[in-house]
Amino acid sequence: MDFEVAIIGGASAGLSAAMALGRSIRKTIVIDGGSPRNKPAPHAHNIFTRDGTPPLELLDIAKAQLKPYTTVTFKTGKVINANPNNNLITLTTDSNETFTVRRLILATGLTDVLPAIKGFRELWGTKIVHCPYCHGYELKDQSIGILMNGKNAEHITPMVFNLNNSIHIFTNRKMEFSEQFLKWTNTQNI
């Protein structure tokens, strides 16, 4: 066994787990490909004492705070295979390295699947955002568009209404809204 625990994903969740394991003196490896979901965003929000800090700077701070915990090791790469064998797991990375571990934490986060709309990717994280709690305040009092339909749009629209009273919902030619939501949007002029 090379490590007691492997953490796949070295962004916020993975580094938080590494901190707990490092403080417990558990031999841990963090394997990360270096592409956190919020990488395109200029600032991260809703993080106590760090509101407005660039996302990659937050990760640098976390890694610096992990340095005293010498049982935590970092490896750049992606795990491409995990094989269980006799209560251990053998991990293989994209650089063909292998590590045998007792436990595995998947902290890979999410990958946003962006629509094939010209310019969308270039604006992702700055002018086009995914979370009203992360970026809504910076867009308050501006006219906004929501590219969603059905239950997702019904969920997000009231969340941003207190920030933006000029909301346009783009449904990609589909209309799958509940009658209650349609009544609410008519009373709010959405």
As a whole number, mean pLDDT of residues 52-60 equals 95
Please give the mean pLDDT across all residues of the chain: 93
Q: Is the pLDDT of residue 190 over 80?
A: no
pLDDT in tens, 60-111: 999 999 999 999 999 999 999 999 999 999 999 999 999 999 999 999 988 8
**What separation in angstroms does the CA of 31 have from each of 66, 170, 179?**
14, 39, 47
Looking at 29-43, 64-78, 109-123, 174-188, which range is the least confident one? 174-188
pLDDT(2) > 80: yes
pLDDT at 114: 92
What's the pTM value of the predicted model, to 2 decimals? 0.82
Residues 172, 147 contacting (CB under 8 angstroms)? yes
pLDDT of residue 175: 80
Residue with tokens 């841990």: 28
pLDDT-derived band at 165, boundaries 50, 70, 90: confident
Residue in 3, 32, 160, 24 with CA at minimum distance from that of residue 93: 32
β-bridge partners, 81:
92
- Alpha-carbon distance of 58 to 50, in angstroms, equals 8
Q: What's the whole-number mean pLDDT along residues 125-133?
A: 89
The rounded distance, in Å, linking the Cα atoms of 113 and 111 is 6
**What Rg, from alpha-carbon coordinates, does the chain have?**
21
Q: At what angle do helices 150-161 and 179-188 cross, to 10 degrees?
A: 30
| pLDDT range class, residue 149, cuts 50, 70, 90 | confident
What integer is the mean pLDDT of 141-149?
Answer: 91
Give the pLDDT of residue 5.
Answer: 98
How high is the pLDDT of residue 141?
Answer: 92
Beta bridge partners of 96: none
- Using H for helix, E for strand and C for coil, what is the string for the chain? CCEEEEEECCCHHHHHHHHHHHHCCCCEEEEECCCCCCCCCCCECCCCCCCCECHHHHHHHHHHHHCCCCCEEEEECCEEEEEEECCEEEEEECCCCEEEEEEEEECCCCCCCCCCCCCHHHHECCCECCCHHHHCHHHCCCCEEEECCHHHHHHHHHHHHCCCCCEEEECCCCCCCCHHHHHHHHHHCC
What confidence tier does 23 reach under pLDDT thresholds 50, 70, 90?
very high
Query: What is the percentage of the chain residues whose pLDDT exceeds 90?
Result: 69
